[in-house]
Amino acid sequence: MLLPPSSGRRTAACRGAAFLVAIAASLWLLACAAAERLPPPLGTERISRADQEVAQNAYERGLAAFSQGSYEPALSDFSLVVDRYPSSRYAGLALYWQGRTAYQLGRDQAASAALDRYLRLAPDVPYFEHASLLLANALYNQTRYEAALQVALVVDSGPAEWLDDYLALSRDLLNRLPRPAIEAAAARVPPRNFLAPFYLQSARWAHSAGAAPRATELASRVVAFPELPPEILAEARGLMGPAGRAAATAPRLGLLDPTDPRFASVAEEIRRGVEIALEDVNRGSGRSAPVTLVARSAETDPDSTAAVIRTLARNERVEAILGPLTSEDALPAARLAAEEGVPLVSPTATDARLLEIDPRVYTVNALDGAVGHTIGTFAVRSLERRRFAILAVDDAYGRIQADAFATAVETSGARVVYRFQYERGSTQYTDQLGAIVRSGADALFIATKSPNEALRILNQMAFYELGGILPLGTDAWNDPEFYRQGRRFVRGYFADTFSRDARITTWLSFADRYEARFGGAPANLIPGWGYDAARLALERLAHADGVVQGGEYLGATGLFRFGPQGIRRAVIVHRIERGEPVAVDW
């Protein structure tokens, strides 16, 4: 929010032509003071004719210096009038120019103090609209966004010479203020022409909520101001009526692109998957216009991410947003996206609390207890096992899956007779296996994300000939290298949300397309997560009015089912047959 290039700062403040008009007007005040309305002086003390002349000379020098771009000398002269000659005729105007010059120099605190004082001199001070605009901009630059809005709302209408700048201020505030503040300002009467961006955004929110009459009312406020730019008026007319919902969003998919170099390779793989997804969406959707990808860089902090989400939702009007990558960033981002009424899907965040925020918020890679719960229930009901042991790594994954497994087993009428949490990287399990044998367990659940840890336990079970105890595992078992290393001793069942089985996922065809496009097979599931995130966001969440429709989606990395509670990813039970996993239940 800066002044125009001619004065060194870009802002919703003053344009070049209006700037010259203001200077000329001030000089004309000097020549015709008797006929011109001046603001009240700053003091009431008597002032001599000599001091009045000194003050006037300083004021004139300040105006001349300002017009030449010499802002430091100008500020010095205006401050001289304000501080030493407060009762002079031009002290009030000098205060305005003091604030304006301080703003021009980037001294926003000093500018806001001077301009606020000036506006309090009288309700009809000269340059009222421009002083209010400068004050709002100075407050904005201090991140005092609510205060900036309140200053702007004092103005009933943006005058023609400053309307573009008032609109620019409103657009900037639109990216900073929370939704309740935007909607509250849009609801105020009488309407204000410079609040057109607020009315348009509130109309889009209304359409997103299915409130077409409210959207039409808000858009009508914009149309009531014919002096607004044609593109704004055209957008407002497009939002009016039930058909306006189509204009509330654009065929765009937002992508939060992390700036942290640690995530560069992951972000690139996700983008590759998204590109393939957009090919499918645009080829088979019957859309009038293809969906384009809008990527925006986001720092790994909540404020930066919030600003990017607001920009994508309010300015780019995206149908949905992908990201952030980490749970720490995704949780606040998801809450904000839900407030904005825009679906958000994270390809990689693992925190299961994301699934509870809103039906149109999802993560493809949630770490919940579904794997442990599914294999536990299956072992009791389908495999008829009754006494279970648990070996769980002592980390979040191990605890979550072990707890879910134990709950499922006990709910199904069986028992957990032994449970042990081992340190990550452990290599010897002799004592634990002996205790499991003594407990009479007929099945062992190995709760770890590490294939190597699972292989060590299975190898030692084979060494001690514990064939009467059925091994049960997690997604750590769902890896070709796992079977290459453990072909002679790996057995049992495991559960995972991913399967290569063509009845359950499209992974094999996706991998072929990936290799043809990028020259090599995908090294992991990450591009598939990006692919599924994009298709879920655009085809299932973007048009669901807050409730996901029924049915299912065979994705690259999983089978996704839809219901009133949102998206749920199926968990597939696999049996090890001749050293290979075979899907048996989903």
pLDDT tens track for 421-478? 999 999 999 999 999 999 999 999 999 999 999 999 999 999 999 999 999 999 999 9
Q: 460 and 406 in contact (C-beta within 8 Å)?
A: no
Q: Percentage of the chain surpassing pLDDT 90?
A: 83
Shared domain check, 476 and 381: yes
Cα angle 307, 309, 313 (rounded to 5 degrees) comes to 120
Bridge partners, 252 (sequence order) = 292
pLDDT at 172: 95
pLDDT at 35: 38
pLDDT at 27: 43
pLDDT tens track for 199-239? 999 999 998 888 999 999 999 999 999 999 999 999 999 99
* DSSP string of 480-540, one letter each residue: HHHHHHHTTT--SEEEES----TTT--HHHHHHHHHHHHSS--SSSHHHHHHHHHHHIIII
> How many C-alpha atoms does 396 have within 13 Å on its Cβ side?
6
pLDDT at 548: 57
Q: Which of 142, 172, 191 is the last residue of a domain?
A: 142
Shared domain check, 115 and 12: yes
Q: Which of 142, 157, 191 is the last residue of a domain?
A: 142
Shared domain check, 301 and 277: yes
Radius of gyration of the chain (CA): 33
Q: Which of 183, 126, 122, 108 is nearest to 149 (CA)?
A: 183
- Residue 42 within any structural domain of the chain: yes
pLDDT at 1: 38
Shared domain check, 340 and 308: yes
Q: Domain tally for the chain?
A: 3
Q: 137 and 12 in contact (C-beta within 8 Å)?
A: yes
- Residue 30 within any structural domain of the chain: yes
- Residue 228 within any structural domain of the chain: no
| C-alpha separations of 353 from 258, 327, 341 in Å | 22, 9, 18
CA–CA gap between residue 89 and residue 43 (Å, rounded) = 10
CA–CA gap between residue 570 and residue 102 (Å, rounded) = 62
Peptide bond into 324 cis (omega under 30): yes
What CATH number does the domain containing 400 carry? 3.40.50.2300
CA–CA gap between residue 63 and residue 67 (Å, rounded) = 6
Shared domain check, 460 and 320: no
Q: Which of 206, 307, 216, 211 is nearest to 256 (CA)?
A: 307
Average confidence (pLDDT) over 374-383: 98
CA–CA gap between residue 278 and residue 274 (Å, rounded) = 6
CA–CA gap between residue 24 and residue 520 (Å, rounded) = 68
Burial zone of 491 (CB within 10 Å; 0-12 exposed, 13-18 middle, 19+ buried): middle
Specify the DSSP class assigned to residue 174.
H
- Residue 525 within any structural domain of the chain: no
pLDDT at 367: 86
Q: 573 and 378 in contact (C-beta within 8 Å)?
A: yes
Shared domain check, 581 and 433: yes
E strand spans, 409-539: 415-422, 443-447, 470-473, 493-496
- Residue 238 within any structural domain of the chain: no
Has residue 26 got a pLDDT over 50? Answer: no
Has residue 32 got a pLDDT over 70? Answer: no
> How many C-alpha atoms does 38 have within 13 Å on its Cβ side?
22
Q: Which of 160-174, 287-301, 319-333, 491-505 has the lowest mean pLDDT?
A: 287-301
- pTM > 0.85: no
Handedness of CA 353, 355, 357, 363 (dihedral sign): positive
CA–CA gap between residue 276 and residue 271 (Å, rounded) = 9
Q: Which of 94, 127, 142 is the last residue of a domain?
A: 142
CA–CA gap between residue 1 and residue 481 (Å, rounded) = 56
- Residue 520 within any structural domain of the chain: no
Shared domain check, 354 and 413: no
Q: H or E stretch including 468?
A: none
Has residue 508 got a pLDDT over 90? Answer: yes
pLDDT at 243: 82
Task: Give the structural domain span for 465.
Answer: 370-497+574-585
| Confidence class for position 22, pLDDT limits 50, 70, 90 | very low
Write the single-letter amino acid at 376.
G
- Residue 377 within any structural domain of the chain: yes
DSSP-derived 3-state class of residue 462: helix
CA dihedral 31, 33, 37, 40 (to 10 degrees): 130
CA–CA gap between residue 167 and residue 145 (Å, rounded) = 15
Structure token pair of residue 439? 């407990």
Shared domain check, 385 and 319: no
Q: Which of 6-10, 165-169, 236-240, 254-258 has the lowest mean pLDDT?
A: 6-10
Specify the DSSP class assigned to residue 539.
I
Q: 294 and 317 in contact (C-beta within 8 Å)?
A: no
pLDDT at 563: 82
User: CB within 8 A of 566, min separation 6: which ones?
Assistant: 355, 358, 359, 360, 361, 362, 548
pLDDT at 37: 77
Shared domain check, 346 and 277: yes
Shared domain check, 397 and 359: no
pLDDT tens track for 46-102? 999 999 999 999 999 999 999 999 999 999 999 999 999 999 999 999 999 999 999
Cα angle 212, 238, 281 (rounded to 5 degrees) comes to 85
Number of residues assigned to the chain: 586
- Residue 66 within any structural domain of the chain: yes
What CATH number does the domain containing 18 carry? 1.25.40.10
Structure token pair of residue 539? 């085809």
Q: H or E stretch including 63?
A: helix 49-67
Shared domain check, 382 and 356: no
Maximum Cα interatomic distance, the chain, rounded to a whole number of Å: 112
DSSP-derived 3-state class of residue 327: helix
Shared domain check, 354 and 397: no
Burial zone of 413 (CB within 10 Å; 0-12 exposed, 13-18 middle, 19+ buried): exposed
CA–CA gap between residue 260 and residue 459 (Å, rounded) = 40
pLDDT tens track for 304-363? 899 899 999 998 999 999 999 999 999 999 999 999 999 999 999 999 999 999 988 999
The pairing of beta strand 572-577 with beta strand 580-585: antiparallel
Has residue 580 got a pLDDT over 50? Answer: yes
